[in-house]
Amino acid sequence: MKQAFIFPGLNALLRRTDRVRYLHRPRVQWYLRRAEEIIADNFGYRMSFSDFLEGRVEDIYSVQNISVAAVAICSIQTAVAEELAEIQGPPDFVMGCSLGDLCSRGVREGL
């Protein structure tokens, strides 16, 4: 049987249940903390992805927050993909749309 990883785009954050589904996973927490550190170090902006993802969908998708939402979804998708690959082995196929292309590229290239 073939295995595929398929990554959705930014719309994966529309429903609250989808946004917080994997936040308890240690690897997801690690990726989000690392992203927070990078944002703070490079842009002087301190934030919490956990608080951000618990917020209102209107705020998450506002024009001024779209880049933060993009970092969030890519971090979550990458962490989940790594965990799945450890359990099931690497995928035979990887596909993404919109921002899911970024995560799928990272998985294909072993990033």
| pLDDT tens per residue across span 42-93 | 999 899 999 999 999 999 889 999 889 989 988 998 898 889 888 888 888 8
8: confidence class by pLDDT, cuts 50, 70, 90? confident
With a pLDDT cut of 90, the percent of the chain lying above it is 33
Contacts of residue 60, Cβ cutoff 8 Å, sequence gap at least 6: 13, 19, 52, 53, 69
Comparison of pLDDT for 108 and 27, the residue scoring more:
27
**What's the pLDDT score for residue 106?**
63
Residue extents of the structural domains in the chain: 4-108
Contacts of residue 64, Cβ cutoff 8 Å, sequence gap at least 6: none
The pTM (predicted TM-score) of the whole model is: 0.83
